[in-house]
Amino acid sequence: MLRVLPVALVAFALLGVPRGIQGQASAPGPRSGTERRLDVEEATQAYLARMTPEKKARSDAYFEGGYWLRLWDFLYGVAVAWLLLAAGWSARMRGLAERAARRKPAQTFLYWVEYSVLTAAFLFPLTFYEGFVREHKYGLATQSFGPWLGDRLKALAVAVVLGGLCVTLLYGVLRRAPRTWWIWGALTASGLVVFSDLLAPVYFAPLFNSYTPLENARIRDPILSLARANGIGVEKVYVVDASRQTTRISANVSGLFGTQRISLNDNLLKRCSLEEIEAVMGHEMGHYVLHHLYKGIVFTSILIVLGFAFCRAGFEGVTRRRGTRWGVRGAADPAGLPVFVILISCYLFALTPVMNSITRIQESEADIFGLNASRQPDGFAETVLKLAEYRKLDPTRLEEMVLYDHPSGRTRIFTAMRWKAEHAGEGR
């Protein structure tokens, strides 16, 4: 998704504003005659202080640079789509597809192949800088150019085949419902979202990484025990060889309707203690138990319906003025796809703060669930420091509210220390 927003420039001006104290925990009397209640703010600051100024500056530079890249991604993508229209290339690609095939679905699919390859070529300089040069510059990537390019070509192949089928289906809806295409198109697109969420963890993710069962019982058994205790019916834990691409740590509980699987990457195994791993897995299980995937599908579907309504009005307005010049015959003409791309990009551009906020709320809920499930507040805080290698640890309030799709590191450590204070003296 293009994750840029119009008010981002306002937040940029506030990056240097001190965040201030979030507030100290309430301080009732000690639990025993000698026990002193944990000072949440003091404990939070102790964790934050462990990040050296050099590491903090590096992390801040990487994360803040990402704000601008979101803007360039948006502008560059819109410019490429506009070029295809203004230069008449989109209409020519449509004409080539019509000469190569007689049936409309085949023509749409062939147009999509041309469109995907051409736009990938135009966008490659930015893709190369973002995904390879910059990641290596900040020490987050482990792939040499050859394997990295191989993964990009795999992703392009998936986009050509799977994307082609989806676009062909959507344009079929546009042809059959010329007046109400935006309603039926939205319903179809929502179904495709569910379909992709169902297939992605099982069929697509293994195209890029190997998934093998975790054999180390010392790590596997506590994870499975945690899963069973929270109603997650899985019998295996999978390890992903993410270290062939990145130094980042991650894990997830993914899948729908019987395709659920627990996966953690090998960086998490190599770099984290058992307490940290349990904290991370508790968080990921929180997403599953709290039905964030299903809620996300509902939220996405609402955005899709609103987006199709916006595209209907926008497409008619734009093509009424420029459609003849661009050679676009109507909404059901594949040559108009770049128009839809521009409209969708602008729509997502404007909604970025909303999407970030919804995701950030779900991440906060999963944080609380994970702390209650794993009971590892210090393990959680330790992993936050590792995530801070590429996520700005202590942003301003406005910066976090507008630009963050996860709670900031400071917020997450504060949450963990507050949990620890409220459960002081309790056994695990």
> What is the tens place of the pLDDT at every residue in 300-345?
999 999 999 999 999 999 999 999 999 999 999 999 999 999 999 9
Query: What is the C-alpha separation between 100 and 96, in angstroms, rounded?
Result: 6
Q: Residue 34 gets which letter from DSSP?
A: S
Q: What band does 258 get if pLDDT is binned at 50, 70 and 90?
A: low
Residue 28 predicted with pLDDT over 60 = no
- pLDDT (mean) for 156-174: 96
**Range list of H helices, 230-376:** 266-271, 274-289, 292-326, 337-374
Work out the widest C-alpha separation in the chain, in whole angstroms: 87
The two tokens of residue 20 are 């201030």
Higher per-residue confidence, 382 vs 198: 382
For the chain, percent of residues with pLDDT exceeding 70? 90
Cβ atoms of 193 and 300 within 8 Å: the answer is yes
**pLDDT digit string, tens, across residues 175-197:** 999 999 999 999 999 999 888 87
The SS3 call for residue 372 is helix
Rounded CA separation 300/329 (Å): 30
Written as one string, the DSSP assignment of 142-199 is: ---HHHHHHHHHHHHHHHHHHHHHHHHHHHHHHHH-TTTHHHHHHHHHHHHHHHHHHH
In the predicted model, is pLDDT for residue 169 greater than 60?
Answer: yes
| Rounded mean pLDDT, 337-356 | 95
Judge whether residue 133 has pLDDT over 70.
Answer: yes
In whole angstroms, what is the distance from residue 251 CA to residue 241 CA? 12
For residue 93, what pLDDT band results from cuts at 50, 70 and 90?
Answer: very high
DSSP bridge partners of 141? 246
Burial status of residue 257 (CB atoms within 10 A of its CB: 0-12, 13-18, 19 or more): exposed
Domain ranges of the chain: 39-208+291-422, 211-288
Structure tokens at 123: 């966008």
| Cβ partners under 8 Å of residue 270, min gap 6 | 243
Classify domain 211-288 at the CATH superfamily level.
Metalloproteases ("zincins"), catalytic domain (3.30.2010.10)
Q: What angle do CA 257, 263, 265 make, to 5 degrees?
A: 155
- Beta bridge pairs of residue 238: 213, 263
- CA atoms of 1 and 356, how far apart (whole Å): 11
Distance between CA atoms of 385 and 409, rounded to whole angstroms?
7
The token duo for 12 is 């940029």
Mean pLDDT rounded to a whole number for the chain:
89
Please state the pTM of the whole predicted model.
0.86
Residue 306 token pair:
């609103």
**How many percent of the chain have pLDDT more than 90?**
82
Question: By three-state DSSP, how is residue 251 classified?
Answer: strand
Ordered DSSP codes for 397-410: HHHHHHH-SS--HH
Q: Per-residue confidence at 10, pLDDT binned at 50, 70, 90? A: very low
* Pairing verdict, β 261-265 and 251-254: antiparallel
The tokens for 393 are 């640890």
Q: Is the pLDDT of residue 408 over 70?
A: yes
258-272, 293-307, 409-423, range with the lowest pLDDT: 258-272
Residue 226 sits at φ, ψ, to 5 deg, of -60, -40
